Amino acid sequence: MNSTPGEEMVSAKSRRTVVVAAAAGNLLEWYDFAAYGFFAAIIGKLYFPSGNATTSLLAALAVFGVAFVMRPAGGFVLGRFADRAGRRPALTLSVLMMGVSTTLIACLPTYAGVGLLAPVLLVFLRCVQGFSAGGEYAGAATYLIEYAPRNRRGLWSSVISATAALGVLVAGLTALLLSAWLSEAELTSWGWRVPFLLAAPLSLAGLYVRFKLDDTPVYRELERHNHLVADPLKQVGKKALANVAMVFACTAVAGLGFYYLATYVITHLTVVVGLDRTTALLIAIVGLAIYSVLCPVAGLIGDRIGRRRTMIVGGLGLAAVAVPAFAMLSSGGIWLSLGGLAVFALFEALVNVMLGVLLVELFPANTRVSGSAVGFNLAQAIIGGPGPLVAAALAASFDTAVAPAFYMTAVALISTVVLLRFLPETLGNDLVDGSPSMLSRDRKRPEAVAEAS
């Protein structure tokens, strides 16, 4: 069997619509979430004023991390909602919450205007963003891959990874244009609000796109046969804790790598290396573009050699290249910095794209979003979200520019050792019950699945 349930009834035009809609919605969601990171230094001065620029920056990055505290709650609620009411309603609610909270950040008064109320409101809105993002990634991956042909799930998963990066890239490009057009005083006074204001029309577009979608063939199959469960989280607790742990380990390395690439790089280049903001933004944007191009390649590799091998190669690669990549990034040269980012992005693409498909293939359909969202968001809250803050603290504490790489190396090594021991091969798993096909049970021969498909 080479198709997902109902795949024979899905036209090529419908598949294209699904890919475009899922990609557009995911890009908009991550644009909204990432805009904060590109203006962390300015936000730190406006909402956490102190006599020390580093202290203000660390406070702003801590608020970035606070959003991740809410992500498990968002994963629990929106994941359960997606398994009970459908993938499409949960994704629609997610983009609505993100759009409203991001737009409201643009309207917040600063500390100079209302005192302590300003940072309190900022933290609250970042928590709403975190709650929304908690249901987005696992839900979007599930929606897209449940439509994908069996032998192209890795490639389709790359759409989620690439568009998440492109959302961050668009936020970075907006920041770059504002930095080029506005003076520092104008940027600090009002310019930083523009990317957040853009969330309103962009989110309306995302809502329109998602309202037009049908639910997935897999979910409709569950409804047709009355296979939905009353409490998906309880089922996950009884039967799938080992797979939740695998998702946690995969997300630890992939999530931390992504937030280093998407959020911390700009801070490192400006604060540690001392580049001007425009040059630093340009380097970060090109690095994200390289990563986005590499994501489909990573998906094709995973479809050919298997999820397990690809994930392990990516994790070991990140552990090996983190220090030299940061040494190149810290050189101050544009080309060396881009070279370091490209090497880092190569291995990050491998782990991130495989994470997307593993979120889907490790769980049966009726508990899929709940199970994957739990492991994914716990890892993001504990490891990935605080990553930029940990990296900045390491850079401030040690007299070496490569200090932030130590955390990346440690997380990548520990996670990959766990995955090497316990991660099963899921290539070819049936998307209804999560069980492996006859071919994919042989963990040593994933290529046989690709050939049979």
Instruction: Report pLDDT digits (tens) over 408-424.
Output: 999 999 999 999 999 99
pLDDT of residue 44 exceeding 90: no
Written as six digits, the tokens of 52 are 């020390």
pLDDT of residue 440 exceeding 60: no
At 403, which helix (H) or strand (E)?
A: helix 403-422
Whole-angstrom distance, CA of residue 318 vs CA of residue 121 = 37
Residue 242, pLDDT score: 94
- Cα–Cα distance list, 4 to 25, 145, 167, 430 (Å): 23, 9, 29, 8
- Note the pTM of the prediction, 2 decimals: 0.86
Whole-angstrom distance, CA of residue 453 vs CA of residue 448 = 9
């987005």: which residue's tokens? 136
pLDDT of residue 99 exceeding 60: yes
The band of 441, judged by pLDDT with boundaries at 50, 70 and 90, is very low
Residue 15, pLDDT score: 76
pLDDT of residue 287 exceeding 90: yes
Q: Which residue has the higher pLDDT, 377 or 69?
A: 377
Q: Percent of the chain, pLDDT > 90?
A: 46
Burial of 335 (0-12, 13-18, 19+ CB in 10 A): exposed
Residue 357, pLDDT score: 96
Residue 13, pLDDT score: 64
Q: Which residue has the higher pLDDT, 400 or 347?
A: 347
The 3-state DSSP class for residue 29 equals helix
At 305, which helix (H) or strand (E)?
A: helix 277-305
pLDDT of residue 28 exceeding 80: no
The band of 10, judged by pLDDT with boundaries at 50, 70 and 90, is low
List, for residues 241-259, the tens digit of each pLDDT value: 999 999 999 999 999 999 8
Check: CB of residue 103 under 8 Å from CB of residue 86: no
Residue 350, pLDDT score: 98
Written as six digits, the tokens of 221 are 């199959």
**Average pLDDT of the chain, as a whole number:** 86
- The closest alpha carbon to 144, from 372, 374, 432, 360, belongs to 360
Write down the number of H helices and E strands in the chain: 22, 0
List, for residues 63-80, the tens digit of each pLDDT value: 766 777 888 999 999 999
Please name the amino acid found at residue 255. Answer: G
pLDDT (average), residues 26-42 = 77
Any alpha helices (H) in 182-231, and if so which ranges? 184-189, 194-197, 199-211, 217-224
Residue 434, pLDDT score: 58
pLDDT of residue 82 exceeding 50: yes
Whole-angstrom distance, CA of residue 36 vs CA of residue 39 = 5
Residue 340, pLDDT score: 94
List, for residues 321-340, the tens digit of each pLDDT value: 999 999 999 998 899 999 99
Written as six digits, the tokens of 229 are 């469960």
Please name the amino acid found at residue 319. Answer: A
Q: Which domains does the chain have, with CATH numbers?
A: 14-213+237-422 (1.20.1250.20)
pLDDT of residue 100 exceeding 80: yes
Residues 6+ apart with CB under 8 A from 421: none
pLDDT of residue 436 exceeding 70: no
DSSP string, 129-178: HHHHHHHHHHHHHHHHHTTS-GGGHHHHHHHHHHHHHHHHHHHHHHHHHH
Whole-angstrom distance, CA of residue 377 vs CA of residue 433 = 23
The 3-state DSSP class for residue 51 equals coil
Q: What are phi and psi of 172, to 5 degrees?
A: -65, -40
- Cα–Cα distance list, 249 to 102, 153, 160, 415, 420 (Å): 30, 21, 19, 5, 11
